[in-house]
Amino acid sequence: MYSDDVNYAYISFMYPILTEINRVNKLFESKDADHTKLYDELTNLVDSFVTKIVLPTQKVDVFTQNIKDFVDKKCYLGYRFESFVSTMREKGLPRNEEEMIRNRCIQFIVQLVNELKNRLPENLKLMKNMKRISVDCALSHNKEPITDLILHFNKNQEYIAKVDEQWRQIHLLKWINTKNTKEFWYEVLDFEDIAGENRFEDLATFAISS
């Protein structure tokens, strides 16, 4: 019976973690996901695990620091887990056994963060830069240039100049699909002026194919 309780405690701890991993994994597999937001989803996933076992006052960069050096052994491990462990404690769970369970949960997160860090795509910087072609950035009057992003795809100077000019003008028009990046760029791709021409075709094609 005691063994069953311990196993359930671990399940209670792992359930929300695995649920979140599965959610983000589905985003990466989805063809409809906004790819300009995947970087944030990925880094937020890692950060959510770090904050579970590190004091809020600690600022940890998992890419340059060892998370083990910042672990809070008294950290809160989630409502399901804490509630069930509290019940186990009322049934006589020894303090040293509880500490062992908690330490295993903490070490699981440490290992998970390290695994995620090691498996992050090599083009993580590119993923971060892809945020710049989101609909919010595109329609901003103070947006960053995307020339360095275009250069990454080995485009020639003439092409870069054309897309850069279109990028600097895109916010001057009124668009309908301003909530979804994918729908926005397809609207831009279908745009025609009074002469039946699309002066944003190169930019839209680049954004959609990137």
Question: How confident is the model over 10-36, as a mean pLDDT?
Answer: 89
Domain carrying residue 51: 2-120
Q: Give 63's pLDDT tier (boundaries 50, 70, 90).
A: confident
Does 29 share its domain with 101?
A: yes
Does 115 share its domain with 188?
A: no
Does 135 share its domain with 113?
A: no
Give the pLDDT score at 1: 46
Question: How confident is the model over 197-202, as a mean pLDDT?
Answer: 95
Q: Give 121's pLDDT tier (boundaries 50, 70, 90).
A: low
Question: How confident is the model over 115-132, as a mean pLDDT?
Answer: 79
Give the pLDDT score at 29: 83
From 203, 205, 138, 207, select the one nearest 173 (Cα to Cα). Answer: 138
Does 31 share its domain with 54?
A: yes
Of 59, 94, 120, the last residue of a domain is 120
**203 pLDDT above the threshold of 60:** yes
Does 28 share its domain with 91?
A: yes
Q: Flag the least confident range among 14-23, 66-75, 121-130, 167-176.
A: 121-130
Q: Is the dihedral of CA 83, 93, 108, 62 positive or negative?
A: positive
Tokens of 167: 């990028």
Does 92 share its domain with 173?
A: no
Does 11 share its domain with 104?
A: yes
SS3 (DSSP) at 37: helix
Give the pLDDT score at 2: 53
- Which amino acid is it at 137? C
How many domains would you assign to the chain?
Answer: 2
Of 102, 120, 138, the last residue of a domain is 120
